[in-house]
Structure 1
Amino acid sequence: MLSPEMNDKLRALHSDAGSGLDGCAALLGMDHLVVSLSLGDQVTEQLWSSSRISADFEDLQFTLGEGPGPDALRTRRLVLEHDVAAVDAERWPALIPAMSRLPIQAVFCLPLSLGGITVGVLTGLRASPGHMSGQETDDALGLAAALTLQLLCDGRPPEDELHRAAVHQATGMLSVQLALPLSEALLRLRAYAYSHDRSIVEAAEDVVSRRLRLDDDDPEPESPKETRG
């Protein structure tokens, strides 16, 4: 059963998604919360996050192409890890060591699914290990169900409003430049960002601005040229 506080949040969510999600992290016993939209082929787009830490975690999963969010999206099942330190490193071999710089010790991912359709993932993060209580689990499931219906009704936001608009544009450019399918072009961009310890958004912006080409063996972005008055 939903708590009265979550019922109030869901009513607010119906009228204004952004303000409706404010305060939901604390209500679920989380330190951070992020909502992502599925774009197909296990690719997600961040729609809303409660903090810089949750946004960084979501970008890290996107860059590496692995983690509890992608697992929840692929399997349409809850992925609840109450103690990240206890997770087998082979499960997410790139993500586990990369997470060490973020204050995250527990991760809870709920697929936003209805029937055979999965439209996104709701992710809760904690700075310390610990299970969700029964009430927190009920409220999280209720929030996930409400977000699923809202995304199904509202659809995908415009391209220029997407958090990773540059990534999608760069992927298209690389697909043409390298004569690769979009999925492989995205893998090339991810590999570059990971191997150079860069944000995938920053790398994509360099591709879009033509400061970076990935058809070289080990490309480095060119410095912006000075413009003459």
Structure 2
Amino acid sequence: MISDLLARSLPLLRRRAGTLDLSALHEVGPRALGVDSLAVSLLTDPGRRELLWSSDALGRRFEDLEFVLGDGPGDDASSHGRPVLVPDLAGTRSARWPMLAAEATALPVRAVFCFPLCIGAIHLGTLTAVRRTSGPLTGAQTDDAFVLAAALTSLCLEVPDGDGHMPWEEEPPPLLRAVVHQATGMLSVQLAVPLPEALVRLRAHAYAAGRTLGDMAQDIVDRRARLGQNGREE
């Protein structure tokens, strides 16, 4: 069963054949699911999600925190292809996501609900809903979330003209964390380490400095910061 509110909105996601317009979800999506913010992330490499869209800054900040830490319900949902529902983030055992449990207290997020965008073994990304108050989704809200995740998955799998491109409205938008990948590549060369290790070092430094990964990466790209072999700024 799907709510009338979401039912009226789903057709708007497909502005025309083979295109995707997430702006239709800005207000309707959070209202239908009874949450404060929604975010959609896509897998670009195994184990790496890129934020594609968020309804507001809260969802974007939570996704950025998960990206910095490399851990959280969104990563679990995309890795295992199963929803991860956390109605009380503060009450979640710290052993499950130890760093997230410590750092998420700085955000006004009390509940997180992550739904994978997947069909069978094909994993595309996640739909993440966050709320400022604790408590589970209702049955109707959960149904809406599953329907919305399925619709997004279907739209993302549409390939116009058989050219292998993803179905964005225009050209694929630049990924919001492109600067992170650029900084990772620079660190990989500077420190003579593989890219995965360079990303771990970048994450660790941003975490230790209490900064967002994007800000730390921008400083490295702009050469305002340079990490030495010991992980400290030179």
TM-score with structure 1 setting the length: 0.90
Per the alignment, residue 2 of structure 2 pairs with: 2
Per the alignment, residue 58 of structure 2 pairs with: 53
- Unmatched 5+ residue regions in structure 1? 222-229
| Superposed counterparts of 1:1-229, under 5 Å | 1-15=1-15, 17-23=21-27, 24-153=29-158, 155=166, 161-220=174-233
Per the alignment, residue 225 of structure 1 pairs with: none
**Contact preservation (8 Å) 1:36, 1:122:** yes
**Contact preservation (8 Å) 1:14, 1:20:** no
Aligned partner letter, 1:177 = Q
**Greater Cα offset, 203-212 or 64-73:** 203-212
- Unmatched 5+ residue regions in structure 2? 159-164
**Contact preservation (8 Å) 2:89, 2:111:** yes
| Distance in 1 of aligned mates of 2:38 and 2:195 | 29
**Contact preservation (8 Å) 1:11, 1:20:** no
TM-score with structure 2 setting the length: 0.88
TM-aligned CA deviation for residue 219 of structure 1: 3.2
TM-aligned CA deviation for residue 218 of structure 1: 4.9
Sequence identity (%):
46
| Change in CA separation of 1:79 and 1:124 when aligned onto 2, cut-off 3 Å | same
**Contact preservation (8 Å) 1:63, 1:200:** yes
When the two chains are superposed, the root-mean-square deviation of aligned CA atoms in Å is 1.8
Aligned partner letter, 1:214 = L
| Change in CA separation of 1:175 and 1:216 when aligned onto 2, cut-off 3 Å | closer
TM-aligned CA deviation for residue 201 of structure 1: 0.4
Misfit runs of 4+, over 3 Å: 156-160, 218-221
Count, aligned residues: 221
| Change in CA separation of 1:135 and 1:14 when aligned onto 2, cut-off 3 Å | same
**Contact preservation (8 Å) 2:118, 2:153:** yes
